[in-house]
Structure 1
Amino acid sequence: MSETAISNFISKSTCHLKRRNVILASFFLAILAVTYIGIIFDSKITIKHYVDYLKFHPWTSAAAFRPSADCDLSSSWDTVLNSDTLTGAQVMQYFKWSNRQSCQLVQDFGGTMYKEPSGWDGQKSLCLDPEVAPVPGDCLVYSFGTNDEWSFDEQMSAYGCQVFAFDPSMMGEDHYDHNPGNVHFYKWGLGDRDRHDTDYNWEIRSLSSIYQTLAARHGRKIIDYLKIDIEGGEWDVITEMIASGMLSNVRQLGVEIHLVTNAPLEKYRDYAKLLRSMETMGMVRFDSEFNPWFMANFTRLPELGKQSQGYEIAWFNANLTRHPTGG
């Protein structure tokens, strides 16, 4: 082959290589561009969803709940519940709101297995994150509404807590120690003030009154878990706890709320705003479970269809979180 032919061959080959490299480079650049656009698009969607999520879920971890001067505890729920256009669906959504991301480890204690539908009823959720978890061997539990069903009390005793259980409707002695477990029973009902219920011959006492009486037995300790299941009486009790300051002495609170079915929307708004007032004071919701065996039609809100009349809701007190190293 002549030098001229070799030179032409090399020139053509180089040209083909350059063309192929340009095509390959263009191809890879196109792939990168599509990928980049996709990432940006997905990121915008993800960020939007995350921002929307935070509007109704302002808490992220137990460690973040220590009060500070610039801490804004309000959320979109305040706007929703104060709105002139509030709907029944919105207020029910507030009761259902679980805010589960506020606690990393949630465990249920107690409860009874039901069927149709199958599931646990009467269980109470505890946050076991170290900042708020009851300390085994040094924890205090008040349990109102035993109804001769001791699973919660016995399990909290097995966990390592001293448990005081209360129910005025139970037969038998007024005060005794329940076995098995470190459970002390008192035949007292929980109310917004001390009184005698003449209809049922029950002794009703406020939480602050009961605490003052029992402090001689357990000391003036924080109530690590307060369980309330008193068939509709919780609304007056919560109001009293806020007014008396007893709420500030409760580290975790588990309440089954009960909704009447014949009230106007404003009544349910009042219920929701009462719970919300606790949350703006530092009670952080970490669970809500509706009762599927307690369904009914709300007669003055027919657009809702059948809804649950009961919700098991749990909070921890941000003002009583411990430092990760203790305290």
Structure 2
Amino acid sequence: MFTRDHIHSIIPEPAGRVQSPASDEIKQADQGSHEHESHENRPVEAAHDVVVDHKSDVIQKPEVTNFKTAREGIESLMKYIRSPNASACGNPVLVGGPLDRKGDGVWTVCADRILRDGQPCVVYSFGICNDFSFDDEMNLKGCEVHSFDPSMGVESYSRSKTHWFHDAGISGIDDSNYTDHRSSMLGKGVKPWVVKTIPSWMSTLSHNHISLLKVDVEYCEWDALNQLLKSPDIQNIDQIIFEVHFWPGRRSNPEAVSVLDAVQSWMDVLITIEKAGFQHFSTHENPMSSGEVIDEYHYPCCFEVGYVRSF
């Protein structure tokens, strides 16, 4: 179980998501010969990374607050991230990643809110980096899946009758010539991207409901989620799982943003998600997480977090 103690040990620097050519598997998929054998017969496993407050099933979440110091904001942010309400989901399961469910690419999904009898399942997955394990598994479970990643150098194609890859991404704006990539893939010589807001993708793909929204887009999550929270379409999403990326110093193209201002903006987004009718049900520190040393304390940069709508 995560604690509030400061993390003093330095975690190895992650390899990061970089532009890479299509793998042989993807090339075969583009020709219509993609196979799903690695995850097809995998049993559903209960999630083991959900943090539970054993003193109370209900965790009081802080209101959006104007922090006075960076240290105060960081402590509040770390406490919030590490204190999900596990009782918000009765059946958390692990999906994607290696077959042993260890390592990067494993996500905690609340099965309470997905694949219900008679309910269509639509999954949007942003950020693939050549790892379709999560997306393929959700497709095999019966969901219509749309996978997005403009950084892979792979053209859009159909992986199955109900699974599509889109050579495009998300942002807080719609732009067919997007070059302000706020991610670790900056400076790699990638071509301009096609990006849209999540509501715009829903309109483009003729969806009025998303069962599960998965986002892992190397800092771009903040602009995209902030825009989504201002749209009525946030009420048409059942579940959001995403990787948060912290600390301005880790951005490939850092702007003149203070730690205090950055922490304030991140906390505002997270709390506003809850105010939109979601509960924070899971947290898992990315096993490849590095971090930032601030005031002699080391803080991890990356967590996968899950929010499920309260009904």
TM-score normalised by the chain length of structure 1 = 0.66
User: CA offset at residue 314 of structure 1?
Assistant: 0.6
Report the Cα offset of residue 149 of structure 1: 0.6
The amino acid of 1:104's aligned partner reads: G
Q: Distance in 2 between matches of 1:53 and 1:84?
A: 29
In 1, distance between residues paired with 2:147 and 2:270? 24
Displaced runs of 4+ in structure 1, greater than 4 A? 81-85
Mapped partners of 1:98, 1:111: distance in 2: 22
What aligned pairs does 1:83-162 form with structure 2 within 5 A after superposition? 84=68, 86-112=72-98, 119-129=102-112, 132-135=113-116, 138-162=120-144
Q: Provide structure 1 residue ranges, at least 5 long, that are not aligned to the other structure.
A: 1-48, 59-74, 322-327
Mapped contact 2:95–2:134 kept (Cα < 8 A):
yes
Establish whether residue 212 from structure 1 lines up as the match of residue 177 from structure 2: no
Selected match of 2:302 from 307, 310, 327: 310
2:192 maps to: 201
Alpha-carbon deviation of 1:302? 2.0
Identity %: 26
Q: SS where residue 316 of structure 1 aligns?
A: strand
Change (3 A) 1:172 1:96: same
Cα deviation, residue 77, structure 1: 1.5
Superposed displacement of residue 95, structure 1: 1.7
Q: C-alpha offsets along residues 201-221 of structure 1, whole Å, 9 cap, x if unaligned?
A: 211111111111111xxxx44
Q: What is the CA distance between 1:292 and its match in structure 2?
A: 3.1
Deviation at 1:284, TM superposition (A): 0.9
Q: Which amino acid aligns with 2:114?
A: A
Gaps of 5+ in 2: 1-52, 180-189, 250-257
Matched residue SS, 1:230? coil
Look up the SS of the partner of 1:53 in the other structure.
Answer: coil
Q: Could you tell me which amino acid in structure 1 is paired with residue 247 of structure 2?
A: V
Match of 1:290 in 2: 285
User: Per-residue displacement from partner, 1:64-107 (whole Å, max 9, x unpaired)?
Assistant: xxxxxxxxxxx45227x456473532321212222212112101
User: What secondary structure, in the 3-state scheme, does the structure 2 residue paired with 1:120 have?
Assistant: coil
Matching of residues 1-327 of structure 1 within 5 Å? 53=56, 57-58=58-59, 75-78=60-63, 81-82=65-66, 84=68, 86-112=72-98, 119-129=102-112, 132-135=113-116, 138-173=120-155, 175-179=156-160, 182-195=162-175, 196-198=177-179, 200-215=191-206, 220-262=207-249, 263-298=258-293, 301-303=294-296, 305-318=297-310, 321=311
CA distance in 2, matches of 1:78, 1:242: 16
Shift of 1:188: 1.0
Q: Which has the higher contact order (CA 8 A, sep 6+)?
A: 2
AA aligned opposite 1:264: V
Aligned partners of 2:291 and 2:213: how far apart in 1?
28
Q: CA deviation at 1:109?
A: 0.9
Q: Which SS does the other structure have where 1:240 is aligned? A: helix
Larger-Rg structure: 1
| Structure 2 counterpart of 1:34 | none
